[in-house]
Structure 1
């Protein structure tokens, strides 16, 4: 057993189920993964299910209403009522099955959760204690294969966090704001960047040329072909006057369609998450948003759009290590 597998224990006498799980990420990232609806939707459900948040108000007295969506489209609704919140340390809440409006379904057990977060070095451990009103309620949840489902969800989170943190550490080491040019190619990124390198006598910087096959992609993505694994997921070339050109391959085999006019963006990297959202909201007003601003698997808070004058923009914020 690896140190990052979930460890479950049952205390039938005290009607408790405890879970310990360690993640290769700082507590701030793990905390956000447990407290923001968009991030919870990425990992909470065991495959092949997915989670969809309807509403979330993360505060003491607030509620998270979400559903588990099955492979055939079936939906199971749940609500979480937040009781105690100590940022980066503790969350207590009550979990119930419900309908789409949040009305509690009394046919299923109610669970009282206590989640404790602690960081050691670069790793964060989450200790979950779930208490039941009756021993029979604990037995019913176990029979419903809660342990297997929750372990699967925690594995989803481990994959998301470890991949995100690894890429974030390698791509950017500080919060310094900068403006770069970002280019998209249909399989010709390596050829194009080497051409520009020769023209400008530039040099590859950052991690240079990173291929799709070099990183662990999100589990939800279909397997890549050997050809696609050789394509460039991120390249960075510094040319004259310190200007940086970044580029990626966006082949049709992955669902992209590159055309002249949509293959070049001005890429902004603000110094804070708040500034990123402010610029995104103001600059995209009246334009067309092509990718809403949200947390991405490579560790960035990212979004893209075409402004009302037809200019393509990307905003990319990555917290410092």
Structure 2
């Protein structure tokens, strides 16, 4: 069965927010990476952009079952960012087949924002907004 977690999107204050959550819940970050850590890709952030220090991905376990995750997803590359819709439901599938099945079912009548594909961080991953305007991230790590 897939695991479901909340993925929070921020517009420049992700690090501050997650330090706040870390203080509240305790524990340590499993991962914290910045946009400057991405491999160079055409159309991505300029090399010396003020956005390069923003958080690409952070994860903080808050229980045995739950990981709070987030990113600085605002700015020009996420024009839909609004306080109140600044989250996605993140699904960690147990298999590639399950990831595809969930992604296909959830995207029916919705909008695929990133098709399922192998990513630079080693996960098979995709994103969509369903027909009820809920954001979903679906991933599987072999």
Range into which the TM-score falls when normalised by the shorter chain: 0.7 to 0.9
Report if aligned partners of 2:57, 2:70 keep a CA contact under 8 Å in 1. Answer: yes
Q: TM-score, normalised by structure 1?
A: 0.40
Q: Which residue of 2 aligns with 1:228?
A: 51
Distance 2:103 2:72 in 1: 24
Seen in structure 2, the aligned counterparts of structure 1 residues 250 and 225 have a Cα distance that, compared at 3 Å, is farther
Post-superposition CA distance 1:79-112 (Å, at most 9, x none):
xxxxxxxxxxxxxxxxxxxxxxxxxxxxxxxxxx
Q: Which residue of 2 aligns with 1:195?
A: 20
* Higher RCO (CA 8 Å, separation ≥ 6 residues): 2
Q: Which residue of 1 aligns with 2:114?
A: 291
Gaps of 5+ in 1: 1-175
Q: TM-score, normalised by structure 2?
A: 0.83
Seen in structure 2, the aligned counterparts of structure 1 residues 288 and 216 have a Cα distance that, compared at 3 Å, is closer
The match for 2:105 among 268, 273, 282 is 282
Report if aligned partners of 1:218, 1:297 keep a CA contact under 8 Å in 2. Answer: no
Paired residues in the alignment total 140
Which 4+ runs in 1 deviate beyond 6 A? none
The match for 2:10 among 166, 169, 185 is 185
Seen in structure 2, the aligned counterparts of structure 1 residues 187 and 317 have a Cα distance that, compared at 3 Å, is same
State the shift of 1:245 in Å.
Answer: 0.6
Distance 2:91 2:118 in 1: 16
Query: C-alpha root-mean-square deviation of aligned residues, in Å?
Result: 2.2
